[in-house]
Structure formats: structure tokens, C-alpha cells
Amino acid sequence: MSIALQSIKAGDQVYVEMHGLRGDLMLIQTVDKVTAWQIVIDGVRYRRSGGQQIDHEYSKWTVVPITEESTRRYEALRTKRQEAKDRARLRYATDAPKLPIEAVRKCLAILDECMLREG
């Protein structure tokens, strides 16, 4: 039984984490209700003992308390997703080869500046 999950109460913010085929995702959610056995967030029930979602047979969603480690993981996932979005924007705007992320962001800044001048 997780001590951190046992200390969660209604109104607390937590991460809701999902590990899927297309990558990992973490969302910040507010706890609606806590019972002796469950944590309820937006009508979805999770086990208080381990954080796993109860309602769905194939679900990979899990409640994770906000800690220093989970915040580092959240920020790393956010950075990774932003890099993927930036690369996709550049790929659709040009036929550029795979570039370092700094070069991708410089190219995007130039493209954004040109679009502002034209618009």
C-alpha cells in the first residue's frame, strides 16, 4: 500500500499517468472524492492501494502523487512531446532532414516571423 496515495484527499492535485503504444502521457487532475478503497477523479475510479484504474478492463491509467520524482518525469515527457510537435511542424513546412532540436526551433522562429510579416 502506497503511503503517498493513502494521504491523498479530495481537492488535491495528482498526476494521472498512461503508458500506451504511442508513448506515455501524464495529466494533472484534481481529486473529486476519496473513499477507504478508491480515489475518484472526473467520475473515474482508481484503487487507493496502487493507483490503477478500476472501471476499464484494458486501461493503463494510474494515479501518481505529485512528488519531486514524478514532477521530473512529467517535465521530461512534456519536453519530449514539445520536441515532437516542433519537429512535425517543421517537417510539414519543409523537406528538411532530421536536425538537432535547436536548429528545428530556429527554423520555426524564422517561419513564424515570415508568416507574421505576410499576415
Give per-residue pLDDT as tens, 17-68.
887 766 778 889 999 999 999 999 998 999 998 888 887 766 678 888 888 9
How confident is the model at residue 83, as a pLDDT? 82
Confidence of residue 1 (pLDDT cuts 50, 70, 90): very low
User: Domain-by-domain residue ranges, the chain?
Assistant: 3-66, 78-118
C-alpha cell of residue 17: 499517468
Among all chains, which residue has been given the C-alpha cell 502521457?
25
What whole-number distance in Å separates Cα of residue 57 and Cα of residue 41? 17
